[in-house]
Chain A
């Protein structure tokens, strides 16, 4: 293989990482070349894997994608890997190593089209999964391919520090799948996401020495000490959680309870209230999940002003009739607003509101979900969804949405 060959392989690593959504920057790429140039990979594919991962990847949530891309890129490398590793040296010694990458990256990306690259990548991924399940072609340990540990291929290069698994086997194992960001994660990570909702303000009693002002005032006072105090910075966000429990929400109970404890323990909100409802809100919510202590929604409206953030948590999955019903019971006399009407009232009262839905978003075309999405900005109950919610909540809803809310309110009244 030629020197250009090694360059080619590395470029395909870069392109495939980018195509898979890993934001490898030019700076990161140059750092990678720098590390290779200093011999950090120790002339082994295993070393190369570690060097590439620690320089190109900046979050454990991308380890899984990296493993897949790395496995894919180096699987296709011609078998004589000793030659490839030698090529790296040659390629790096080339007087124009790090250089012109930038224009060529751009040129190649334009030529291929990122979308096309992504499509191909996804196709191959799908294929790769099947092969892996079959277990005959994908590179593993102890085989005759030059990629494994303890392998018997004549031109094979020692991988790993004796007994360790080969880079490709490690890559193949997908041990970092659990860190993927699109998956639901634990309480701590939810709390970390929620914490970004904070809005720091100085309110309350003067408890903290304001040093800068003290110095300024003292100077103005001809050097006689003039102490200036100020209130400490505190999170000013108040959040109300409305949680759907029971029925179709049962499978999601654990997830919702994690969110709940994350908000309570880690959120650090100025005030946090949570109430429960079943299926849809009909005039009342409950302080407890056993529905024994009802609180009229009107009372919430009285106590909480429009600066409160409202987060609804539920699958929004119900019979369309349940949205038009006026209470949770078929027997109750039909007066007052419907379920949808109550939701519209909530959305109207709390402009900073959002809906977290534990159902995968491919189900969001169901009629009831569709109707509710007209009123609330809806996000999947995953770490990525929570991130989006946290980003969106401080903003006012889009005018179209306000318009829809008002329309429902008019119909309901």
Chain B
């Protein structure tokens, strides 16, 4: 088995996640990563690419994205335009074909990491349309008859926010990992990546307050890692002492809670307790 994924200096991965990456690379299947927003799904691809020293190609999926866009794009409008107004030679269709994210990774001279980000945003049929290409890592461009086959099978990482369920046939071909919300220990490591010289008391106090807040029942959007990191920046910037984090009223609550209802609920509670 080749080198194991250990995370990188900036990206801390749990054992389960490292193991899932290793398995996906070893058995050459796409890695599907799901998890709460803000648990670093997208960053994972960058970390894997960095640790493998492979270039990363990112394919951001939107609600209108079609599967074929990841393979290639035939610019009919451009060709139409050229045929009418241009002085270019328009009989060569190949000149109007651009490879998409997967297509470029297939044709590349070295192994790439491809991130298919937020696959659940696309239409329900989108994943099914990619099944075959991800299986055999090759496709044909019908307009020109050209076959694009992977020189090096790319490492494919797919993220989903669970907005739509993915088809079973697609799931069966993936290695699956659900990114847990980090526990305190892991979170403390993550925070220290962003704030290497943070005082021990402040870190402990902030984590304590953060997890207490997250455990409040009925929050519409519980704060995630990035909000914690921002909050700690704000705390440090204004020199708030750790003791103040133990009280009922937290400073800069708006950095942690983004929903008005959540803010109102927590502040209301603080008043009652305080």
Residues of A within 8 A of B (CB): 23, 25, 27-28, 31, 34-35, 38-40, 46-47, 50-51, 53-55, 57-60, 63, 160-161, 164, 175-176, 179, 187-189, 191-192, 195-196, 211, 214-215, 218, 223-225, 254
Interface-side segment among B40-48, B103-111, B175-183: B175-183
Say if the beta carbon of B198 comes within 8 Å of chain A: no
Do B164 and A195 touch across chains, with their CB atoms under 8 A apart?
A: yes
Do A223 and B15 touch across chains, with their CB atoms under 8 A apart?
A: no
User: By CB atoms of chain B within 10 A, which of A35, A46, A161, A254 has the most?
Assistant: A35
Say if the beta carbon of B29 comes within 8 Å of chain A: yes
Contact of A189 among B26, B77, B162 (CB under 8 A): B162
Do B178 and A215 touch across chains, with their CB atoms under 8 A apart?
A: no
Do B19 and A215 touch across chains, with their CB atoms under 8 A apart?
A: no
A245 to B175, CA, bound (A): 44
Say if the beta carbon of B163 comes within 8 Å of chain A: yes
A328 to B210, CA, bound (A): 48
A186 to chain B, nearest CB (A): 8
Query: Which residues of B (1-30) have their CB < 8 Å from a CB of A?
Result: 1, 15-16, 19-20, 22-24, 26-27, 29
A332 to chain B, nearest CB (A): 38
* 30 A-B contacts (beta carbon < 8 Å): A27-B172, A27-B173, A31-B27, A31-B29, A31-B175, A34-B27, A40-B1, A40-B22, A50-B15, A51-B23, A54-B20, A54-B176, A57-B176, A58-B171, A58-B172, A58-B174, A58-B176, A59-B176, A63-B178, A160-B15, A176-B178, A179-B178, A192-B164, A192-B165, A196-B124, A196-B165, A211-B77, A215-B76, A223-B84, A225-B80
Contact of A195 among B24, B163, B176 (CB under 8 A): B163
A201 to B26, CA, bound (A): 43
Chain A residue contacts of B124, Cβ below 8 A:
196
Do B220 and A59 touch across chains, with their CB atoms under 8 A apart?
A: no
Q: Can you name 11 extra interface pairs (CB under 8 A) apart from A58-B171, A225-B80?
A: A31-B29, A38-B1, A39-B1, A55-B23, A58-B172, A63-B178, A187-B220, A192-B162, A196-B164, A211-B77, A224-B84
Chain A residue contacts of B16, Cβ below 8 A:
50, 53-54
Do B176 and A25 touch across chains, with their CB atoms under 8 A apart?
A: no
A35 to B20, CA, bound (A): 10
Residue of B nearest to A218 (CB): B80
Query: Which residues of B (43-63) have their CB < 8 Å from a CB of A?
Result: none
A55 to B29, CA, bound (A): 10
Q: Given A54-B175, A189-B162, A225-B80, is A161 in contact with B23 using a C-beta cutoff of 8 Å?
A: no
Do B218 and A254 touch across chains, with their CB atoms under 8 A apart?
A: yes
B30 to chain A, nearest CB (A): 12
Do B15 and A60 touch across chains, with their CB atoms under 8 A apart?
A: no
Do A164 and B23 touch across chains, with their CB atoms under 8 A apart?
A: no
A223 to B79, CA, bound (A): 11
Chain A residue contacts of B112, Cβ below 8 A:
none
Do B175 and A188 touch across chains, with their CB atoms under 8 A apart?
A: no
A196 to B180, CA, bound (A): 26
Chain A residue contacts of B165, Cβ below 8 A:
192, 196
A338 to chain B, nearest CB (A): 38
A192 to B15, CA, bound (A): 30
B198 to chain A, nearest CB (A): 22
Say if the beta carbon of B233 comes within 8 Å of chain A: no
Say if the beta carbon of B153 comes within 8 Å of chain A: no
A384 to chain B, nearest CB (A): 12
A337 to B164, CA, bound (A): 42
Chain A residue contacts of B84, Cβ below 8 A:
223-225
Residue of B nearest to A31 (CB): B27
B103 to chain A, nearest CB (A): 20
A286 to B120, CA, bound (A): 37
Q: Given A55-B175, A211-B77, A223-B83, is A164 in contact with B15 using a C-beta cutoff of 8 Å?
A: yes
Do B162 and A50 touch across chains, with their CB atoms under 8 A apart?
A: no
Chain A residue contacts of B1, Cβ below 8 A:
38-40
B24 to chain A, nearest CB (A): 8
